[in-house]
Chains A and B, each alone.
Chain A
């Protein structure tokens, strides 16, 4: 049973635009929600993470919005750049291992 649902599967935005990726979870025991960025041939790299007691976290152009009651969280990439083109994974954890979403392939057009 998939515990973290991610959408969209793919996303194309223009340079300078806002990229938004959404995730929803089912397990209310999850207490840590990281986002990973992955380039082809590389392992996932931690981008930003949030705890459920915070509704928003911003680091540079990247913002996580978290809605505990709806069990949803999202990644916003402001002023998207071609170098942001990659696959993005949301994840959730309650103790040890991460449960990942299915990934979003982001393409930022120059």
Chain B
């Protein structure tokens, strides 16, 4: 079956612009995660969704970052007024459930470059 799909694969934008990153999780996976991978910070958790529960936003670095998950499936990560330090690879993962021992399956990410 299809894995986690992310789009676009690459995004270049000017500082101050807003960007939207999309994630299509594996069909049937109820848990969805966003992570950020950057050279200086490694892999960092951003936000997590589980079914219809309120998302865990504890990893979002600032209020410029937000995410939605519509219909329990597709998710969009939005970064407003982008800054150069937002340049990174944004990774989405999904799992069957949110318990700790459920494997998380990652997409190939969106490489975001802020000029």
List residues of A whose CB falls within 8 A of some B CB: 31-32, 34, 36, 41-46, 49, 51, 89, 91, 93-103
Q: Please, which residue of chain B has its CB at the minimum distance from the CB of A4?
A: B42
Complex Cα distance A46/B93, Å?
Answer: 11
What is the predominant secondary structure among interface residues of chain A facing chain B? loop
Name the one of B35, B42, B56, B103 contacting A96, with C-beta atoms under 8 angstroms: B56
Q: Please, which residue of chain B has its CB at the minimum distance from the CB of A34?
A: B103
**In the assembled complex, which residues on chain B have CB atoms less than 8 Å from the CB atom of A36?**
106
What is the predominant secondary structure among interface residues of chain B facing chain A? strand
Give min CB distance, A29 to chain B, whole Å.
Answer: 9
CB within 8 Å of A: which B79-110 residues: 91, 93, 98-101, 103-109
How extensive is the interface on chain B, given as a class? 20 to 34
Contact B43 A43 (CB under 8 A): no
Question: What 4 pairs between A and B have smallest CB-CB spacing?
Answer: A43-B106, A97-B45, A100-B43, A93-B100
Complex Cα distance A41/B44, Å?
Answer: 17
A-B contact list, 11 entries, CB within 8 Å: A43-B109, A44-B43, A45-B106, A46-B104, A49-B103, A89-B43, A93-B100, A95-B100, A96-B48, A96-B98, A99-B45
Contact B101 A97 (CB under 8 A): no
Name the one of A44, A93, A101 contacting B106, with C-beta atoms under 8 angstroms: A44
Contact A43 B108 (CB under 8 A): yes
Name the one of B44, B50, B99, B105 contacting A46, with C-beta atoms under 8 angstroms: B105
**In the assembled complex, which residues on chain A have CB atoms less than 8 Å from the CB atom of B28?**
none
**In the assembled complex, which residues on chain A have CB atoms less than 8 Å from the CB atom of B91?**
43-44
User: What 1/0 mask marks residues of chain B from 14 to 33 whose CB sits below 8 Å from any chain A CB?
Assistant: 00000000000000000101
Give min CB distance, B76 to chain A, whole Å.
Answer: 18
